[in-house]
Amino acid sequence: QVQLVESGGGLVQAGESLTLACTASGRTFDNYVLGWLRQAPGKEREFVSAISWTGGMIYYANSVKGRFAISRDNAKNTVYLQMNSLKPEDSAVYFCAARRVDLGTYRYWGQGTQVTVSS
């Protein structure tokens, strides 16, 4: 059974940093992309960042480019999202998700972790 477990959310002030972690288990992810998506109250879920498990492909939404950094530790089966210079508009539930490299739809999802940025 595939499991994605997020951790690291919390309450911070604007300008501060947080690091989210997503630990994956239950299958090999060699042909997968692991991504972070977020959803704020009353808004659509939106893409934040993604990284291929192998090959080093990395993607960012324009809204976080230059502030967020995604990385992976294959030995720990964990993907990280370093979030710097946080803004109140970054407040959302952040989800870790996985999709096959050749498919556009995320198949596996974590439960989400809350990030709240106060002004």
Q: What is the mean pLDDT of each run of 10 residues along the chain (119 residues)?
A: 96 98 93 96 97 90 98 94 98 97 94 97
The DSSP code sequence of 5-57 is EEE--EEEETT--EEEEEEEESS--TTEEEEEEEE-TTS--EEEEEEESSS--
Contact 96, 6 (CB under 8 A): yes
Compute the distance between CA of residue 4 and CA of residue 97 in angstroms, rounded to an integer: 7
Question: What confidence score (pLDDT) does residue 55 get?
Answer: 67
Beta bridge partners of 28: none
What's the pLDDT score for residue 80? 97
Tokens, residue 74:
């294959």
d(CA 2, CA 108): 7
- Which residues, listed in sequence order, are joined to residue 37 by a DSSP beta bridge? 47, 95
